[in-house]
Structure 1
Amino acid sequence: MGGYYGLLVLVGVALLLTTGQCDVSCTGTDGRAGEAGIPGRNGRAGAKGEKGEPAVMASGPVDPAVLLRLKGERGSRGRQGLMGPKGYQGEVGPAGHPGLPGRPGPEGKNIGQGVHSPQQARSAFSVMRTDSSYPAFNQIVTYQTTVVNTGGVFSAATGHFTCKVSGVYYFTFNSVAKVSICLRIASDPPFDKLGFCDYKGNGDQVLSGGAVLQLRVGQRVWLESFKDQQRDTDARDTQDKQIIFSGFLLFSE
């Protein structure tokens, strides 16, 4: 019986050896690499740790960097320091580009009409007499040339200035002649007349005068010739003569 069992064992081994051999053509194909798996979900947040112990000042030298990181209590405000010296003036920079035009300003307010408004009062004149004849005594001087006549306040034909704005005015005249001439500034009441005279010396005779008058609307002012100590021959003189009469408003009332 033992011999029969041994024979069976030998036959089984032989079969295993026979089936374990393979022909050259008996080769398997290479396997493919596996695909990446889907990313996993984030894990849950861990539990909050316990509060740490307060820092303890270590003995020995202290690191300045550590002190800068440690925030202390806010101190009181210090005193204001002294003003430092004035710095040097810097160089002038290049001119900038012109800015855009500004928006129109608000509409102005009406403060009066024409020369009758004290804020806008204008009154002035200057006229010239170039006639070579002697100005007749006690007659108003008339003029041939009007230089300035603001507001039409003067009539060269009649020789009258007529006040259109109440206020204080200044009047002045100048004359040049070869003989003596007397002239006076005259006005309607209450002002009377203010005369000026000079007598011939050598060369041209120059005469000038002026007055400050307070006038109301409608009052007239003029220049006239009068006789004082002139010779009769002076009144018949026909040499070149020139008289300039001017006046303007100093301030209105």
Structure 2
Amino acid sequence: MGGYYGMAVLVGVALLLKAAQYDASCDGRPGAAGSPGRDGWAGVKGEKGEPDAAMADSSVEQGVLQRMKGELGSRGLQGVIGQKGFRGDLGAAGDPGQPGPHGPEGRSIGLGQDASQHAVSAFSVIRTDSSYPRYNQPVTFQTTLVNKPGDFTAATGYFTCRVPGVYYFTFHSGAKVSMCLRLASDALTDNPLGFCDYNRNSDQVLSGGAVLQLTVGQKVWLESFKDRQTDSETRDTQEKSIIFNGFLLFS
């Protein structure tokens, strides 16, 4: 429609020019001015302009840009945890540390040079003398069944501790008269263990035993003691036997 409007304008201009030519050769008067034309239609929207050079320049202060930013949004949800990464290579070995202090000196248990040998101590002896054992004296023995490694002395009746530890001692006696025996030791100075069996016109069997903890050098022995025996019993010469045993439980 704008084309038709332009055409009308051109026709109007041509008529004015023709009238002017006519005025020059004829005695006429100028015609009346035409009415103003209407406004034209709006043009096509132009393209978006380039950003401000000041904003694009990296020299703009960060504070200005920070103030131009919008408000911080709310924190989003945590994302899915990723897969575990591969194990890294083993690092180089560190420098060796300082040597530690010396430990306490060990105790000798008499094993000699062969440390692989276990500590042992055991004995079993028999008294075959038919005489009545003397009161308050160590009982001596005539037959040795076991004595490893030799901690018991049959002639004196003493066991001497060589390996410190816990031991078990036991004895058995058989006689036709009353008998009282006690297990004596350096470790039992305040409480010796006494056992008695009294004659009832039959063979008497007496037994006793104890577990003792000994240190090196302590002794253990059997001895007879007076209780209710008669003088005639102490003079008895009938067959008698006493068996004395002992061994190390653990050092």
Normalising by structure 2, report the TM-score: 0.53
Map of 1:183-222 to 2, 5 A cutoff? 183-189=181-187, 191-192=189-190, 193-222=192-221
Q: In structure 2, what residue type is equivalent to 1:120?
A: H
Q: CA deviation at 1:203?
A: 1.8
Map of 1:52-71 to 2, 5 A cutoff? none
Residues 1:163 and 2:161 are matched in the alignment: yes
In the aligned structure 2, how far is the partner of 1:167 from the partner of 1:145?
Answer: 26
2:130 counterpart SS class? coil
Whether the 8 Å contact between 1:130 and 1:144 is mirrored in structure 2 is yes
Aligned match of 2:225? 226
Aligned match of 1:143? 141
In the aligned structure 1, how far is the partner of 2:189 from the partner of 2:109?
Answer: 29
Aligned match of 2:170? 172
Q: 1:113 to 1:229 in 2, by over 3 A?
A: closer
Match of residue 128, structure 1, among 106, 126, 135? 126
In the aligned structure 2, how far is the partner of 1:144 from the partner of 1:166?
Answer: 27
Q: In structure 2, what residue type is equivalent to 1:220?
A: K
Runs of 4 or more consecutive aligned structure 1 residues displaced over 3 Å after TM superposition = 112-119, 189-192
Normalising by structure 1, report the TM-score: 0.53
Q: CA deviation at 1:188?
A: 1.0
In the aligned structure 2, how far is the partner of 1:159 from the partner of 1:232?
Answer: 24
Whether the 8 Å contact between 1:171 and 1:210 is mirrored in structure 2 is yes
Q: CA deviation at 1:201?
A: 1.6
Map of 1:5-24 to 2, 5 A cutoff? none
Q: CA deviation at 1:218?
A: 0.5
Q: CA deviation at 1:181?
A: 0.6
Q: CA deviation at 1:202?
A: 3.4
Whether the 8 Å contact between 1:168 and 1:251 is mirrored in structure 2 is yes
Q: In structure 2, what residue type is equivalent to 1:138?
A: N
1:120 counterpart SS class? coil
Q: 1:190 to 1:223 in 2, by over 3 A?
A: closer
Residues 1:182 and 2:180 are matched in the alignment: yes
Aligned match of 2:238? 239
Report the number of matched residues: 141
Q: Percent identity?
A: 70
Residue ranges of structure 1 left out of the alignment (5+ in a row): 1-111
In the aligned structure 1, how far is the partner of 2:228 from the partner of 2:131?
Answer: 19
Q: CA deviation at 1:119?
A: 6.6
Q: 1:113 to 1:219 in 2, by over 3 A?
A: closer
Residue ranges of structure 2 left out of the alignment (5+ in a row): 1-107
Q: 1:171 to 1:213 in 2, by over 3 A?
A: same
Map of 1:71-110 to 2, 5 A cutoff? none
Q: In structure 1, what residue type is equivalent to 2:241?
A: Q
In the aligned structure 1, how far is the partner of 2:110 from the partner of 2:183?
Answer: 28
Q: 1:214 to 1:191 in 2, by over 3 A?
A: farther
In the aligned structure 2, how far is the partner of 1:118 from the partner of 1:167?
Answer: 18
In the TM superposition, what whole-angstrom CA distance separates every residue of 1:59-108 from its partner, at most 9, and x where no partner exists?
Answer: xxxxxxxxxxxxxxxxxxxxxxxxxxxxxxxxxxxxxxxxxxxxxxxxxx
Q: CA deviation at 1:234?
A: 0.5
In the TM superposition, what whole-angstrom CA distance separates every residue of 1:105-131 from its partner, at most 9, and x where no partner exists?
Answer: xxxxxxx98547697110000000000
In the TM superposition, what whole-angstrom CA distance separates every residue of 1:154-188 from its partner, at most 9, and x where no partner exists?
Answer: 00000000001000000000000010010000001
